Amino acid sequence: MNVSISIDFLQLKHIVKQCDLDQKLELLKLLEQETFAVRFKNFLQVVRNDELNLEDITAEVEAVRESRYYAQ
């Protein structure tokens, strides 16, 4: 049996606030996987439009490290 419900974004946010930490981390991983292609495409647009410098590369590396640290 399939059931479908409709909720708006505010209701979704309220539901997420009720989740425990493990559930929120699981949602975070899911969202990261679902949005990776879009985030990567946006990153490539930045790279193609601007010259990369060491500061930009370092910032991106640190952002990835931080996201992986909190995903564990």
CA-CA distance, 71 to 61, in Å (whole number)?
Answer: 15
Work out how many domains the chain is built from and give that number.
1
Domain span at residue 59? 20-71
The predicted structure's pLDDT at residue 49: 64
Provide block-wise average pLDDT over 10 residues at a time, the chain (72 residues): 93 96 95 92 78 84 88 68
Q: How confident is the model at residue 19, as a pLDDT?
A: 97
pLDDT given at position 72:
66
Whether 37 is covered by a domain: the verdict is: yes
pLDDT at position 17 is 97
Asked if the structure places residue 8 within a domain, the reply is no
**Considering the domain boundaries, does residue 50 fall inside one?**
yes
Measured between alpha carbons, how far is 19 from 25 in angstroms, rounded to an integer?
10
Q: Count Cα atoms within 13 angstroms, Cβ side, for 25.
A: 9
8 A C-beta contact, residue 42 and residue 50:
no
pTM (2 d.p.): 0.54
